[in-house]
Structure 1
Amino acid sequence: MKAWRVTEQGSVDGSPLQLVDEHMPRPTSGELLISVQACGVCRTDLHVVEGDLPIHRPHVVPGHEIVGAITEVGDNTETDFSVGDIVGIPWLRHTCGNCRFCVSGRENLCKASLYTGWDHNGGFAEYAVAPADYALALPTGYSTEELAPLLCAGIIGYSALRRAELPPSGKLGLYGFGASAHIVAQLAQADGATVHVMTRDLGARQLALKMGLASAQGTFDSPPEKLDAAIVFAPIGEAVPTALEAVDSGGTVVLAGIHMTDIPRLNYNRHLFHEKRLLSVEANTRVDARQFLERCQRTHLTIETTVYPFDRALFALRDLRHGRFAGAAVITF
């Protein structure tokens, strides 16, 4: 089979990935072999390839928004899935199941957690192996290209929105407007929220207005009204004080990225007083993922995608790096 491997971390404007031929993986007990049909291109992939995140597995195959058909079930695997089923393989791949986080429903904080496309090979390949217990049933009514971004961008956005505790008909600010934010905006809109977008990307602002959101302006511009909550998707630490100033008393700012540049010094009175809250979201639980995908079945979302053939995966990462598309990028096979 063919797969893209990280040969040496570095700028995607160079050649940190190589397309190689290798043996097809085989599923062991508890695993599924997936024929990959589509794989989303996430900013986390960019962080892994460019070195913002350390390499956990030498020459890893990136990609953790995988949609594909089960072609083989490992021996002695207990699962409701069968050969031929179309499933989703997300970022979270393994947790211990026994620590205080796992037993309290917070498996995303497990210290033994492992991740697709970072600790184990991911979906920038024709085939991938994944634990059956972490595979996800998918909603109907979406194409494979539309399903792929739901598996990280959608799930983490849903988790961030839930933690923001937006009141009914609340005012939400989104800092950065890529794959995750454009999904969150639709969820919030469906619940009656007013959504304001702050992003440096002009194409993303145009998409926000096309979607009927209340306003779209630059990252460091003030929204036209005080916010009840804000979610920072942009990996820019300088946006955090701006978001804290934009939320009203009692408001919440949620940081949704796995990597962010340093946050500047905060002023307590200006940024945190009046019971403002600042918190982060780490990965997701399987409960989060299933709840979100069930919500996608009830509330149909419009997923903006730019599709790249498998042999153009590096170009997809370059375009993500330079903001050359709005919405989500997806590799198809």
Structure 2
Amino acid sequence: MKAAVVPELGAKPEIQDLPVPEPGPGQVLVRMVASGICHTDIHAAHGDWPVKPNPPFVPGHEGVGIVEKLGPGAGLHAVGDRVAIAWLGSACGNCSYCVSGWETLCESQQNSGYSIDGAYAEYAVADDRFVVAVPGEVSSLDAAPLTCAGVTTFKSIKVSRLQPGETAVVFGIGGLGHLALQYARIFGARVIAVDLEDEKLELATSLGADHVINARDTDPVEAIQDLGGADVAVALASAPKPFEQAFSSLRRGGRLVCVALPASGTMSVPIFDTVLGGKSIIGSIVGTRADLADVFKLHAAGRTKIIAESRRLEDVNACFDDVLAGRVPARLVFEF
């Protein structure tokens, strides 16, 4: 099979011919149909984060494909089912986090395309318990970004405790941000979009943003406070400064939700303002299998729109360059 392999941290992915993997106990073999490109895949290849993957490895955690073979003991899905392979490749199922509905915090979890091989390949093996069925009404091209960008931002809006009529601001309108603003609207909020590129702000407007702010030529904190301040700010940018701007844009009682993971990941927070303003900072990491099922249901019902471009796996390095250069309106998806 053809796969994009990171041979060592910091090296460019290479297209290699690998044997088709055999599903082990409790696993399924999935023939990939589509696989989205997430900025996390680039961080993984570069070894940007404190916990690093062990090369060589195959990135990818927005995989959608057809189950072709069942390993011993696998039976939750059948051959021919279309399923999604998400970031949460598996979890123990027994710890306090797993049994309380927070499986994404399990300390024994495995992550697709990071600690285990992922979906940048023609075939992938996955835990039968952790792949999620894709409804027939959702195309594979749309399902791929929903498998990470969708479920991650859906979860961030859930944990923000956003209420109808409140104001939400989304910092960074890209693969995640274009979905975050849609979920905020579904929750009944007034939505402000912040980005550095007019093209992305035009996209935000087309998706229903009530206000847009170009942070390249306007102070976003001042502009948001002039609009009354934000009850919720979702930080999706790839640099720390927008996180601090997002916090400063909050009104009293506001909640900052940190989602993106910049390589230089430190932000400064004023203690006095945090305490007297009753402000909260919330970390939100992807979503559960149940969250992903809800994301698919919303999309099948026509409540969300995916902005994605199809690419070939052979162009993986050009795709990474486009993402890093900000040339991608929202999401790129490999189609096999």
The bucket for the TM-score relative to the shorter chain is: over 0.9
2-side partners of 1:55 and 1:266: how far apart? 27
Q: After superposition, what is the alpha-carbon deviation per residue over 1:97-129, rounded to whole angstroms, capped at 9, x for unaligned? A: 122211222111111111000011111111000
Structure 1 residues 232 and 177, CA gap change in structure 2 (3 angstroms): same
2-side partners of 1:141 and 1:301: how far apart? 13
Deviation at 1:271, TM superposition (A): 4.7
Deviation at 1:146, TM superposition (A): 1.1
Assess if the C-alpha contact under 8 Å between 1:305 and 1:330 holds in 2.
Answer: yes
What pairs with 1:1-333 in structure 2 (closer than 5 Å)?
1-10=1-10, 16-53=12-49, 54-79=51-76, 81-219=77-215, 220-221=219-220, 222-223=223-224, 224-259=227-262, 261-333=264-336
Structure 1 residues 161 and 260, CA gap change in structure 2 (3 angstroms): farther
1-side partners of 2:103 and 2:201: how far apart? 35
Q: The residue matched to 1:234 in structure 2 has which SS?
A: coil
Q: The residue matched to 1:290 in structure 2 has which SS?
A: helix
Residues 124-133 or 308-317, more deviating? 308-317
Deviation at 1:260, TM superposition (A): 5.1
Amino acid at match of 2:135: P
Structure 1 residues 21 and 243, CA gap change in structure 2 (3 angstroms): same
Q: The residue matched to 2:129 in structure 1 has which SS?
A: helix
Amino acid at match of 2:2: K
Q: After superposition, what is the alpha-carbon deviation per residue over 1:175-226, rounded to whole angstroms, capped at 9, x for unaligned? A: 1111111112112223332111111233211211222311222345232331
Amino acid at match of 1:58: P
Assess if the C-alpha contact under 8 Å between 2:167 and 2:189 holds in 1.
Answer: yes
Assess if the C-alpha contact under 8 Å between 1:65 and 1:148 holds in 2.
Answer: yes
Deviation at 1:30, TM superposition (A): 0.8
Q: The residue matched to 1:319 in structure 2 has which SS?
A: helix
Structure 1 residues 182 and 331, CA gap change in structure 2 (3 angstroms): same
1-side partners of 2:187 and 2:86: how far apart? 25
Deviation at 1:299, TM superposition (A): 4.2
Q: After superposition, what is the alpha-carbon deviation per residue over 1:250-307, rounded to whole angstroms, capped at 9, x for unaligned? A: 1101001244534343222335531110111123222222232233333432100021
Assess if the C-alpha contact under 8 Å between 1:6 and 1:61 holds in 2.
Answer: yes
Amino acid at match of 1:66: G
2-side partners of 1:326 and 1:225: how far apart? 29
Assess if the C-alpha contact under 8 Å between 1:245 and 1:270 holds in 2.
Answer: no
Residues 104-113 or 289-298, more deviating? 289-298
2-side partners of 1:163 and 1:200: how far apart? 26
2-side partners of 1:43 and 1:115: how far apart? 15
2-side partners of 1:140 and 1:300: how far apart? 16
Amino acid at match of 1:248: R
2-side partners of 1:311 and 1:262: how far apart? 31
Residues 220-229 or 130-139, more deviating? 220-229
Moved over 6 A (4+): none
Assess if the C-alpha contact under 8 Å between 1:30 and 1:74 holds in 2.
Answer: yes
* TM-score normalised by L of structure 1: 0.93
Q: After superposition, what is the alpha-carbon deviation per residue over 1:8-41, rounded to whole angstroms, capped at 9, x for unaligned? A: 222xxxx511111111101112111111010000
Q: Which runs of 5+ in 1 are unaligned?
A: none
1-side partners of 2:228 and 2:142: how far apart? 33
1-side partners of 2:335 and 2:288: how far apart? 26
2-side partners of 1:244 and 1:23: how far apart? 48
Amino acid at match of 1:42: C
Deviation at 1:140, TM superposition (A): 3.3
Q: After superposition, what is the alpha-carbon deviation per residue over 1:146-171, rounded to whole angstroms, capped at 9, x for unaligned? A: 11000000001011000111111221
Structure 1 residues 232 and 272, CA gap change in structure 2 (3 angstroms): farther
1-side partners of 2:272 and 2:313: how far apart? 51
Structure 1 residues 17 and 256, CA gap change in structure 2 (3 angstroms): same
Structure 1 residues 157 and 301, CA gap change in structure 2 (3 angstroms): same
Structure 1 residues 244 and 55, CA gap change in structure 2 (3 angstroms): closer
2-side partners of 1:317 and 1:202: how far apart? 22
2-side partners of 1:76 and 1:192: how far apart? 44
Q: The residue matched to 1:167 in structure 2 has which SS?
A: coil
